[in-house]
Structure 1
Amino acid sequence: MIKLLSFCTALLLLPAAWAAPGCDAQHGCIESNSWELGLALGYGERSNPLREHNDIPLYLVPEIAYYGDDWYFDNGSLGYILWEDDRFSLNLAGNFASDRAYFDRWDPANLFITGNLSNRDVPIDQGPVIDPSGEDELTSFDELETRNFTYLGGLEAYYFSELGMIKLAWMHDLLGVHQGSEVQFKWEYGINFGDLSTTASVFADWKSKDLVAYYYGVRPTENLYWSQTYQATSGWNRGLELNLSYPLAKHWELLGMVRYTRLAESISASPLVVEDNSLAYFLGIGYSF
């Protein structure tokens, strides 16, 4: 088994690669039973759609991965291969819940990102919102309660063809924090322009009602009015991603990434959320050890 590398996906601490039976011209690879260690230095940012929460800077991004014959570890993602052939792979897999990263600067999804930590746990202030009752105190927010850490696990399947890679996964809360689930879909296609490698992706992630309610619902201690008014439902996040890499020398690459995520309507309707999207970008130089 091999791993197809993608530093830029590692920026978001999603699985930075997918299991495949062979290498191609668009990706670097590591063979079975070997480590991949790398570091990218540059500048970027991931916007934070939460009210009164600052955007997340991207300066230093590590890559830590190991792919064995039957299992892999990739920047916090853990998987075990149930079955694979030249076109298809089915795995047991787990990864961090990504939504909590917006609420806590020290969430594992942010541990690989250095920058100003002084804005962690900033209280949310709803601001000058006019409530139907006319009572401003009903729309003022107290400090948010903690959204606890959890780990998602389930099944993921990959299909490889000349038209790109398709991923479909079902993930559930393994630690019983919110009892929610995700369904993840992604189509990815890579093409080279001389030494410049590009990978474009389209993705859609369905988030269950329990998951949305836990992260984006309002607790009574945060705001009594909105805890009774906002009702979470399931919904789809959708987005686009473009990754670029250009070799500079042995072990060195110029890397670029931009990723746009449109939040589900049920999430953007939350009074905790002031933007209906999140944009991430990064440009830097990567070194593979």
Structure 2
Amino acid sequence: MRYCILLLALLFSSARAETTAACEPAQSCATEQTLHLSWALGYGQRSNPLYGGEELPLVILPDIYYYAEHWFFDNGKLGSSWALNEQWQLSLVAQFNQEKGHFQKWFGGNAFQFSSTNFSSPSISIDRVGPLQASVREIRKRPTAFDAGLQLDGLVGQWLVQAVLWQDVSNTYQGQHASVGVSLPWQQDSNQWQLSGRLYWKSAKLIDTYYGIDNNEPFYLPRYNGKPSWQPQLSLSWQRPVSERVSLLAFVRYLHLDDAMTDSPLVRTDNVTTWFLGISYRMY
């Protein structure tokens, strides 16, 4: 792990951000030396799959990104990129692990709900029935972890493709997680749409740290050791400009949780749904 951190630090210091091929207007790509700051006001919520977990209300959402010559910040993700060719770009990225957001309502990572892979239809949640369940109020506090990784972005025809591999560099859960996703943006009159699909993989160590029940928990709770998890997600987003700075927008996401998650006595549903409808004002 020590050598991995040194390697990541070396890459951060030597990588040079380069622009990729010009983007079509509907792709909403960021350009170098660009600051974007907007706030969306409306209403929505993100469901919580945990027993005793609180749903996250979405009322004011920031959308913040800045792309400089050598680095970028994009809604909680810090990185440095370089172009491999006209279609593909490799980035070294870092961010706080988002898993804690289900356990702590006001976790900082919950503020950033905008990303390049948002949206899908909500479904009816089905509670797991049985005596072997545990509330988040009964367990010890889950840790905050910091991840670093490699992100590959590409353009294949009209499809945007992304793959990310993350490693815990804070030595918190000592595991990895990864995802691969595709996204199709299109424009219909003044309406801008984006349909996305993504598959997440989370290591047994990550699942065990956040959803496992070990001997450090109260004795009356059922024990559970985490297993590797595969979690598919669908998302859809819509935006309609009203003026140069004001837009109407909406998004919805559906994340399916597999048995590695639902077998945990902490988890009561097999999905997480997120939706939001509001109006956005762009300051920069």
How far apart are residue 29 of structure 1 and its match? 4.6
Task: Tell me the secondary structure at the aligned position of residue 224 of structure 1.
Answer: coil
Q: Conserved in 2, the CA contact under 8 Å of 1:50 and 1:272?
A: yes
Structure 2: state its 5+ residue gaps: 1-18, 114-127
1:47-196 equivalences in 2 (<5 Å): 47-111=47-111, 129-130=130-131, 143-196=138-191
Structure 1: state its 5+ residue gaps: 1-18, 114-126, 132-138
How far apart are residue 145 of structure 1 and its match? 0.9
Distance change (3 Å), C-alpha of 1:186 and 1:53 = same
How far apart are residue 227 of structure 1 and its match? 5.0
How far apart are residue 226 of structure 1 and its match? 4.6
Matched, 1:243 2:244: no
Match of 2:246 in 1: 252
Q: Conserved in 1, the CA contact under 8 Å of 2:134 and 2:221?
A: no
Runs of 4+ in 1 over 6 A off after TM superposition: none
TM-score (norm. length: structure 2): 0.82
After superposition, what is the alpha-carbon deviation per residue over 1:130-183, rounded to whole angstroms, capped at 9, x for unaligned? 46xxxxxxx776622111111111111111022401111110111000001011
Match of 1:263 in 2: 257
Match of 1:43 in 2: 43
- Equivalent residue for 1:199, pick from 183, 194, 214: 194
For 1:195 and 1:226, locate their aligned partners in 2 and report how far apart those are by CA, in whole Å: 54
For 1:244 and 1:128, locate their aligned partners in 2 and report how far apart those are by CA, in whole Å: 36
Task: Tell me the secondary structure at the aligned position of residue 213 of structure 2.
Answer: coil
How far apart are residue 184 of structure 1 and its match? 0.8
For 2:134 and 2:185, locate their aligned partners in 1 and report how far apart those are by CA, in whole Å: 48
Higher relative contact order (CA 8 A, sep 6+): 2
Task: Tell me the secondary structure at the aligned position of residue 26 of structure 2.
Answer: coil
CA RMSD, 1 decimal: 2.1
Distance change (3 Å), C-alpha of 1:287 and 1:20 = farther
Count of aligned residue pairs for this structure pair: 250
Distance change (3 Å), C-alpha of 1:160 and 1:112 = closer
How far apart are residue 231 of structure 1 and its match? 2.4
For 2:162 and 2:112, locate their aligned partners in 1 and report how far apart those are by CA, in whole Å: 25
**Percent identity for Structure 1 against Structure 2:** 29
For 2:144 and 2:52, locate their aligned partners in 1 and report how far apart those are by CA, in whole Å: 21
Match of 2:207 in 1: 212
Match of 1:275 in 2: 269
For 1:93 and 1:140, locate their aligned partners in 2 and report how far apart those are by CA, in whole Å: 35
How far apart are residue 63 of structure 1 and its match? 1.6
Q: Conserved in 2, the CA contact under 8 Å of 1:262 and 1:278?
A: yes
For 2:279 and 2:152, locate their aligned partners in 1 and report how far apart those are by CA, in whole Å: 32
For 1:283 and 1:189, locate their aligned partners in 2 and report how far apart those are by CA, in whole Å: 21
Q: Conserved in 1, the CA contact under 8 Å of 2:138 and 2:218?
A: no
Q: Conserved in 2, the CA contact under 8 Å of 1:220 and 1:227?
A: no
Match of 1:24 in 2: 24
Task: Tell me the secondary structure at the aligned position of residue 92 of structure 2.
Answer: strand
Q: Conserved in 2, the CA contact under 8 Å of 1:36 and 1:64?
A: yes
How far apart are residue 76 of structure 1 and its match? 1.5
